[in-house]
Structure 1
Amino acid sequence: MHLTFVPDPRGECRTLIRRADGAEFELASYSRKHAVPHDLVHAVLERELGIPDGIYGCIAAGAVLSSMTQTGGKKRHDAKVRSARILKAAKGIGISEALASVFYAAYEQGRVPYAEVREAWGVTSALPCPYGDEQVARVARVLGEVGENWQARADPLVFPWPKELQAR
């Protein structure tokens, strides 16, 4: 899957998605002039933490969110049923949502959210947080690099998505 984050002159961001099955989509973002688009924060943390059933892993597997518009490629005959099945089974979307707000706030404050990640995890699961300090620091570092890159450009930002990182 290929992700391209496109700056919108109104301060928003559009995410262009080309899945391996050839389907192409546009995902509307509602970032309202934040330093880094919300959807880009999701992409960074889901990729760096290896969350296969987060937002982008579900999209890679065939899910279509209500904020997505198909712009190219063939629509699957079972697209709605497949999407609903993928999204119903996905546990990573809630985790990704909880962590995205934590990482975004920390990015804005220029710090690494070690304790906040564990706290957010505890809201979503009774199990111990699987993300150690090294992983949290890596997400914060990569988000910092991507954020600087995003703010310094007017061109689209291509974001590689690992083939193996998709929901089952």
Structure 2
Amino acid sequence: MLVFFHPRPGGGTRAVLHRDDGVTLEMHSYDRKWRVPHDLAHAVAERELGLSGGVFGCIAGGALFASVRVIDGRARYDAAEHGRRVIACHEREIAIAEMLSGAVHGAVEQGRAGAFSAARAGWESVREDPFPYTEMDIQRATSTLTRLADAFAHLPRGTGLRFEWPRRLTAAAAPKGRSQGRPGRRRAR
């Protein structure tokens, strides 16, 4: 999936997502108070930490969230049902992605150290298994977000920041008839 992040006049971000199935989506973010776009922080943290069932992996897999709408292409005949199954299958991982991207976003936005500690503490508040990331994993995510946030801040007028979402991090839907699956986590290699 190819994503372009565009600054919106008056603040906020507009992302245009070109899914592999030929559908083009638009996602609006209302993050006017932040220098670093919240949705960009999500995309970076989820990609760098290998989360296939986060927000962007779910969108790549066919889910639509409230801030996302189809602007071009033809969605599959059962798009609404399929999207609900994708989200249902990955609800826990979406919450984890929110927490991890928040830790990375906070570190970059506020220029503070401690993203690893914040991410690990957040993980321990929602999961019982050991924190699966190293300090280098979190540092890679914060470094990438720092670089892309700077590029976003200096975009020429009328252009968007190009961001590639890897196909291997596309969320799968729960099989029909199954409302909840066991969310899996695939690490980037």
Q: TM-score range by the shorter chain?
A: over 0.9
Deviation at 1:19, TM superposition (A): 0.6
Question: 2:109 maps to what in 1?
Answer: 108
Question: 2:138 maps to what in 1?
Answer: 136
Deviations 1:104-139 (A, max 9, x none): 211123234111110011122111111111101101
Match of 2:129 among 127, 130, 142: 127
Match of 2:167 among 157, 163, 168: 163
Give structure 2 stretches of 5+ with no counterpart: 173-189
Question: Could you tell me how far apart the structure 2 residues matched to 1:20 and 1:49 are?
Answer: 21
Match of 1:118 among 117, 120, 123: 120
Deviations 1:124-159 (A, max 9, x none): 211111111110110111111111111122431010
Question: 2:64 maps to what in 1?
Answer: 64
* Equivalence map 1:29-40=2 (5 Å): 29-40=29-40
Question: 1:81 maps to what in 2?
Answer: 81
Given residue 144 of structure 1, which amino acid in structure 2 is its aligned partner?
A: T
- Of stretches 53-62 and 93-102 in structure 1, the one that deviates more from structure 2 is 93-102
Deviation at 1:33, TM superposition (A): 4.2
How many residues end up aligned between the 2 structures?
168
Give structure 1 stretches of 5+ with no counterpart: none
Given residue 102 of structure 2, which amino acid in structure 1 is its aligned partner?
A: S
1:27 equivalent to 2:31? Answer: no
Question: Could you tell me how far apart the structure 2 residues matched to 1:7 and 1:144 are?
Answer: 17
Given residue 150 of structure 1, which amino acid in structure 2 is its aligned partner?
A: F
Given residue 73 of structure 2, which amino acid in structure 1 is its aligned partner?
A: G
**Could you say what the CA RMSD is over the residues aligned between the two structures, in angstroms?**
1.1
Question: Could you tell me how far apart the structure 1 residues matched to 2:40 and 2:116 are?
Answer: 20
